[in-house]
Amino acid sequence: MRGESARQTAQGTGSTIVEPWDAHNRALVENVHPPAWVNPEPAPRYNLVVIGAGTAGLVTAAGATGLGAKVALIERHLMGGDCLNVGCVPSKALIRAARAVADVREAGEFGVEVPGAPRVDFQALMERMRRLRARISKTDSARRFRDLGVDVFLGAGRFTGPDTVEVDGRQLRFRKAVIATGARAAALPIPGLAEAGYLTNETVFSLTDLPRRLAVIGAGPIGCELAQALARFGAAVTLLEALPRILPVEDPDAAARVEKALAKDGIRLVVAASITRVERAGGEKVLHVGAGGGTEAIPVDEILLGVGRVPNVDGLGLEAVGVQYDPKAGVKVDDRLRTTNSRIFAAGDVCPGYKFTHNSDFQARIVIQNALFLGRARASALTIPWCTYTDPEIAHVGLYEKDAAARGIRVKTFVQELEDVDRAILDGETEGFVKIHVREGTDRIVGATIVARHAGEMLPELTLAMVHGIGLGKIARTIHSYPTQAEAIRKLGDAYSRTRLTPFVKSLFGKWLAWNR
């Protein structure tokens, strides 16, 4: 029953198999792909037909319907898309469990004695993840969207004419359409890898047993987050990265801190790694890796691939409607998120650029304005922060130093180490910093990176400041409660204010004070 029912339920062309087939996954599927779902009779014509019910599609459909539009939403696999089913939600549930392991491991520092090493019950923590995912899935459920007034069609959507999309053998006529079909894990053409078999984000959350030895290929955000979590659960993890360092997009100082943390968690990192082939030998998989002038064979029980995402553009009939795309970058859109067919828009991971849930969400809002209301909202106007949920986290918004230099923007950089922030000292979380770049000669923030255990919770203050033009001087004058780690940000405000105290101003103050003595 187990795998077979799951496969049957996961009808359509999606590749994710919902396993194990327990009560939580049944509840999940009941919400996001109800087996007994009956597609509605299509309306004569829709204001908007949305293909894909991940974050981009859901936000577009709910928002447009709320404003009075007649909307059809089509999902071939699981509503909620990657974020709910095989992305943010399950990964963050595991990361939380991994933090609990680290906390127990380090409890001695706080005078709390835990006899022996923590025993991790992998099956229990995976069950917790499935339970929480099922609970959160109500928000994205087919029934909820139907109750909002959206016509929900389960099945694969495909353009068949200038104003029609086919799903489940029916033709849906649209005034405007939105492609929100997301992306999937990229493959790697390493000889023997496909034959040996490997996990991706689409399968790793279905594990019921922790691999004893694991190779994670790709030290981007997904690779680093999962490598650290699985290492903390007890897997012997080797993290392989083709580039010379982990998290290549991030600020190098920030990546170095996370690299140190991964080493502390026992992860073996191999950078500048070239994997020449993979072979199956008995029950193991052996990776042949060249790095640092030598070669070695790394035997493991499982391989997890996290080497980027490719857009879901196949089988959509895009050629038939004149929507241009690049198979690697995604659907071509202009700044208003219009494709090369002016009646068809695209949003989220299927488009080139940032692949984050909140980006999909805000792109969806742009599409609603521009597709339905002749709006002129621009994607380039969005300020998009992000966070990598390693421990410590790295959160970032705006420009890195190198971006500023490339654009010829002169910046002054302020750095506050958490070593000197009282709350971080008291929490035993001093590994990190806040780094803020302001445009030289002003207090205008152009970029910021935070490395801290809860960096993602600290960053919104700086994103808000950037979006609304609040300078570092104003942050200095904003009271932050003591003791908080966010005080690090206020301290940088003070550091900026001190730069305003030029020798001339100081001499004036000196004279005034001498006169008042």
Ligand X SMILES: Cc1cc2nc3c(=O)[nH]c(=O)nc-3n(C[C@H](O)[C@H](O)[C@H](O)COP(=O)(O)OP(=O)(O)OC[C@H]3O[C@@H](n4cnc5c(N)ncnc54)[C@H](O)[C@@H]3O)c2cc1C
Q: Which residues bind ligand X (CB under 6 A)?
A: 14, 51-57, 74-78, 81-83, 87-88, 91-92, 156-157, 180-183, 201, 222, 312, 315-316, 348-349, 355-358, 360, 389
Residue with Cβ nearer ligand X (50 or 278): 50
Q: How far is the CB of 412 from ligand X (least distance, A)?
A: 30
Cβ(269)–Cβ(218) under 8 Å?
A: no
Q: How far apart are CA 73 and CA 79, in angstroms?
A: 10
At a CB cut-off of 8 Å and minimum separation 6, what does 466 contact?
Answer: 383, 397, 398, 445, 446, 448
Q: CB–CB of 305/265 below 8 Å?
A: no
Q: Which is nearer to ligand X, 206 or 357 (CB)?
A: 357
Cα separation, 99 vs 103, whole angstroms: 6
Nearer to ligand X, 348 or 432 (CB): 348
Q: How far is the CB of 199 from ligand X (least distance, A)?
A: 11
Give the residue with the Cβ less far from ligand X, 37 or 291: 37
Rounded CA Rg of the chain: 25
CB of 265 to ligand X, least distance (A): 18
Of 42 and 87, the one with the shorter C-beta distance to ligand X is 87
How far is the C-alpha of 398 from the C-alpha of 243, rounded, in Å? Answer: 23
Q: CB neighbours of 19 closer than 8 A, spacing ≥ 6? A: 2, 3, 6, 25, 206
Tell me what percent of the chain is helix, strand and coil, each rounded to the nearest 5. Answer: 40, 25, 40
CA dihedral defined by 492, 496, 499, 501, rounded to 10 degrees? -100
For residue 396, the minimal CB distance to ligand X (Å) is: 13
Contacts of 232 (CB under 8 A, 6+ apart): 98, 99, 101, 102, 120, 265
Of 167 and 278, the one with the shorter C-beta distance to ligand X is: 167
Cα 3 to its chain centre, rounded Å, is 28
> Side chain identity at 273, as an amino acid letter?
A
**Shortest reach from residue 91's CB to ligand X, in Å:** 4
**Contact assessment for residue 63 and residue 192, using Cβ atoms and an 8 Å cutoff:** no
Residue 35 to residues 54, 138, 141, 251, 387, Cα–Cα distance (Å)? 19, 15, 13, 46, 35
**Do the beta carbons of residue 55 and residue 78 sit within 8 Å?**
no
Q: In the bound complex, what is the minimum distance in angstroms from residue 18's beta carbon to ligand X? A: 13
Residue type, 311: P
Contact 451, 431 (CB under 8 A): yes
We find the least distance from the C-beta atom of residue 48 to ligand X, in angstroms, to be: 15
Our CB check for ligand X shows the closer of 76 and 396 to be 76
What is the nearest approach in angstroms of ligand X to the Cβ of residue 226? 7
Nearer to ligand X, 318 or 472 (CB): 318
- Which residue, among 81, 120, 124, 83, has the nearest Cα to 100 in the 3D structure? 120
Considering beta carbons, is residue 389 or 496 the nearer one to ligand X? 389
Q: How far is the CB of 145 from ligand X (least distance, A)?
A: 13
What tokens does 175 get?
Answer: 């005034």
Name the helix (H) or strand (E) containing 406.
helix 401-406
Residue 287 CB, nearest distance to ligand X (Å)? 21
**Nearest approach, Cβ of 223 to ligand X (angstroms)?**
9
Give me 37's structure tokens: 């779902």
In the bound state with ligand X, the residue whose beta carbon lies nearer, of 356 and 414, is 356
Kindly tell me which of 227 and 270 has the beta carbon lying closer to ligand X: 227
